[in-house]
Structure 1
Amino acid sequence: MKHLKPVLIIFSIFISIIFIVPTLLVLPFSSDKETANLDEKLKNTPSVEELANSVEVAVYRSNQDLIEKLPLEQYVVGVVAGEMPADFEKEALKAQALAARTYIVNQLLLEDSTVPKGADVTDTVSHQVYKNQKELAGLWGADYDWKVKKISDAVLETMGQVLTYDGKPITAAFFSTSNGYTENSEAYWPNEYPYLRSVESPWDSASPRFEDQKVIPIKEFEQKLGVTLPKDGSVGTITSRTEGKRVASVEINGKGFSGREIREKLELRSTDFSWYLKDNHIVIATKGYGHGVGMSQYGANGMAKEGKDYQDIVTHYYKDVKITESDKLLQKVTAQR
């Protein structure tokens, strides 16, 4: 029995440890008096205000006849909101942000005599449509929070990026809806740009603006175009088309017009048009909405729905361009000021 005594002693110590150690582990943390707590401070998604660290843009507000100054990236938020529906795919919004930012960076580097003194850009389609936060709140109402967050995130995720060709920001033209193709720049404007080439854009057929019809009285048609329709019932002839499948030239009773002239004089949605005579009216059918040069917005949204990202979108619509950080370009702007 003597040899069992050491065993009993060891066993007793072991039992004591089992009960004492948990107590020792718990006691330091069981005090009713808390000395410090683990803080929790989650980072929120960056807000529009956090886009403030950028070059200032002076926007001429055409309706109020005043100049509004704000940071460039906040300006881009206002342009994307003014130019593209917020319920578009995020990658399409990011492509629009890239185009809008490129446009304003290029604008800041130019001397534009068409804008009022003290301004860099206007808020109309002559440059880019821009709406500030107050205007958007009134326009969107209860949808304001999610719409402005979605657009702000798209701007933040492309922050500082611009599109360049040969190291210079491009003329990042965009429009609503194509007729299935975009247009070469020189088909609509005087200048030929190597990156503004006609490309296929099949996604646009899903746009609510893809087709339109307009009915004009014959007298109004003749007055606006300065022509008299012949008595044989003919209403003119399309004599050539562009690479983008739009009307390049038309002849009406011996008088020639460009497709752009017809579009502007008759206020048509695009230069892809045809018409016919019915009773005392001219019925005009159009395909697409806008000038057709550069990025199609509905095409961009269609690409995004198919899983394409914003880099895919911009490199489809702007040929041979690069996505570049704008820092060095904006340094030139700062130096000029």
Structure 2
Amino acid sequence: MRRRNQVRQSVAVSAALLAALFVLPLLVVAPFRTALFGRETPVDETEGQPFVSGQLDGESALRVLDGETVLEMDLGEYLLGVVRAEMPASFHPEALKAQAVAARTYTLYKLQTGGNHGDAADICTNPTCCQAYIGEERARANWGENAGAYEKKIEEAVAGTDGQVILYGGVPILAVFHSSSAGLTRAAGEVW
């Protein structure tokens, strides 16, 4: 009889613990359900004024191959997408400006040398071929609450360097760049 009571007590305690194991998390999470599992608020693409390329960048029309689609835009619009993709928007404004100049120079070099896309496009969004590129909507989704400030910094970097290009002998240089070097770089002759 005593053994039967001990078994019943053990079963009762086990059942209570098992119930607590499943019920307690529900009681803890339920008040915060909306905050934890609610849908993200949609990105408002109408924030601020639309970007207008500077006079010099605005004069250069581009055909940009994005996957299978060819997009038409001016150089300034293209550079926004490149700077968004190639450098964290949290970087110092002067670093973003340097990236905009390097990206503009690289783009103009590709245009002058004929690029890799024949008559289909001038340049593409594939970083293994040309330069990385990210559209505003996707960038804003990645940036979250900092989206407005980051987009403004990038727009200011591109607009603030309108038309600035690195030349050698009056021709745009091949302004290649990389995101990290692990503290070591090689001479150009060793790479190409």
Tell me, in whole angstroms, the C-alpha distance in 1 between the residues paired with 2:170 and 2:182.
31
1:124 aligned residue: 126
Give, in whole Å, the separation in 2 of the partners of 1:73 and 1:179. Answer: 31
Alignment-derived partner of residue 55 in structure 1: 60
CA distance 1:116–1:134, change in 2 (3 Å)? farther
* Seq. identity, %: 35
* 1:164 matches 2:164: no
Would you say 1:185 and 2:188 are equivalent positions?
yes
How far residue 132 of structure 1 moved from its aligned partner, in angstroms, is 2.0
Q: Tell me by how many angstroms 1:106 deviates.
A: 1.1
Instruction: Give 5+ residue unaligned stretches, structure 2.
Output: 1-47
Corresponding residue SS for 1:69: strand
**What's the counterpart of residue 117 of structure 2?**
115
Provide the secondary structure at the position in 1 that maps to 2:155. helix
SS of residue matched to 2:72? strand
Unaligned runs of 5+ in 1: 1-44, 190-337
The 3 A distance-change label for structure 1 pair 58 and 166 is: same
Q: Which amino acid aligns with 1:109?
A: Q
Question: RCO greater where, 1 or 2, for CA within 8 Å and sep 6 or more?
Answer: 2
- CA displacement at 1:116 relative to structure 2: 6.1
Q: Which runs of structure 1 show a deviation greater than 3 angstroms over 4 or more consecutive aligned residues?
A: none
Residue in 1 that maps onto 2:69: 66
Q: Structure 1 residues 89 and 120, CA, compared in 2 at 3 Å: closer, same or farther? A: same
Contact preservation (8 Å) 1:58, 1:70: yes
**Which structure's CA Rg is the greater one?**
1
Q: Secondary structure at the match of 1:87?
A: coil
Which residue type is aligned with residue 120 of structure 2? G
Mapped pair 1:82 → 2:85: yes
Higher helix fraction (1 or 2): 2
TM-score of the two chains, using structure 2 as the length reference: 0.67
Deviations 1:163-190 (Å, cap 9, x if unpaired)? 011111000010012233422112112x
Decide whether the 8 Å contact of 1:54 with 1:73 is kept in 2: no
Map 1:1-337 to 2 at 5 A: 48-51=51-54, 53-62=58-67, 65-112=68-115, 114-115=116-117, 117-125=119-127, 126-189=129-192
Deviation, 1:53, is 2.7
Counterpart amino acid of residue 66 in structure 2: R
Following superposition, the deviation at residue 135 of structure 1 comes to 2.5
Deviations 1:50-77 (A, max 9, x none): 4473311111112xx1011111011111
Aligned length: 142
Q: CA deviation at 1:118?
A: 2.1
Letter of the structure 1 residue corresponding to residue 178 of structure 2 = F
Question: Residue type matched to 2:51 in 1?
Answer: V
- Give distance in 1, aligned partners of 2:149 and 2:173: 31
TM (norm. structure 1) is 0.40
Q: Deviations over 1:119-149 (max 9, x none)?
A: 1111011210111222223332332211110
Output the CA distance in 1 between the equivalents of 2:59 and 2:84: 19
Equivalent residue letter for 2:158: V
Q: Over aligned residues, Cα RMSD in angstroms?
A: 2.0
Residue 46 (structure 1) shift: 7.8
